[in-house]
A = this chain, B = another copy of it.
Amino acid sequence: MIEKITIIGMGLIGSSIARNIQKHKLAKTLVAADLSEEVCSKVAELGIADYVTNDLARSVEGADIVILCVPVGAMGSVAASIAPNLKDCAIVTDTGSVKSSIIKSLDGALPDSVDFVPAHPIAGTEFSGPESGFAELFDGRWCILTPLPDTSIKSVEAVTKLWEAFGSNVDIMNPEHHDLVLGVTSHLPHLIAYTIVGTANDLEDDIKSEVVKYSASGFRDFTRIASSDPTMWRDVFLNNKTAVLEILQRFTEDLTELQKAIRKGDGDYLYRRFDETRAIRKEIIDQGQA
């Protein structure tokens, strides 16, 4: 049991972590901090932490582990505001969807006396806010750690144990590789979903009402993805620019080829491309990820 854990940012992820820490009795004291008064009231009402505060700086006093669950773009400023109050040898970890840029922005902000263990749980829903969290969110899902060359093994092990207690499987990766892989599996799909729903949203009103009515034919899945938190996703794209633009370039080239095939009526090309994609689905099913 850890003496004191502080979670900063009590949205979907932060509140799900709090629920896990409570459920599995992982800390003697659990502090939940959020800049928003409204979120703090909600968290107090839910009763998922021992103390709730909107004073981020004071929330980390004496904490053994501090978990940053704020949007990627807010990580640097939050780290700077808590830095003076972090105790020596505290472990700071995060849950951001992008790793390289967070490492860069926390590098200067955190004191050398603490250990930073960058982490990313591959879990979420399209809902946000403390009331959307639930203890099972991380169950059977991956959590990727991207430790730095000077991160101590002890701290990596402590964070690993935490995520395993939440029900996750932990993997280690280098940050750049993480950002590329997640660029393909998560960031590009979200960008595309936002785009396609935006395109539909810009249609004339009479067509738009029918798009809603007949959404079950494929579009519906995209609207679910595209209803994810806009602040979180704005920050992801601003902070994983290189990987996203690189993957997007390949996607656009492939889309142009398919567009050309449709225009020219090249059925063989279309069939071949549509048939190839079945293989990757089969692998996902075989690995129990479907």
Binds B, one of A7-15, A104-112, A220-228: A220-228
Complex CA–CA separation, A153 to B277 (angstroms): 43
Complex CA–CA separation, A252 to B186 (angstroms): 20
Contact of A122 among B194, B216, B228, B238 (CB under 8 A): B216
A262 within 8 A of B: yes
| B-contact bits for A13-47, CB 8 A (1 contact / 0 none) | 00000000000000000000000000000000000
Number of copies: 2
A213 within 8 A of B: yes
A150 within 8 A of B: no
Check if A254 sits within 8 Å of B284, measured CB to CB. no
Complex CA–CA separation, A211 to B203 (angstroms): 33
Complex CA–CA separation, A277 to B230 (angstroms): 9
A237 within 8 A of B: yes
* Chain A residues engaging chain B, CB cutoff 8 angstroms: 73, 122-124, 126, 141-142, 144, 180-182, 184-186, 188-203, 207-208, 210-228, 230-231, 233-235, 237-238, 241, 244-245, 247-248, 250-252, 254-255, 258-259, 262-263, 265, 267, 270-271, 273-284, 287, 289-290
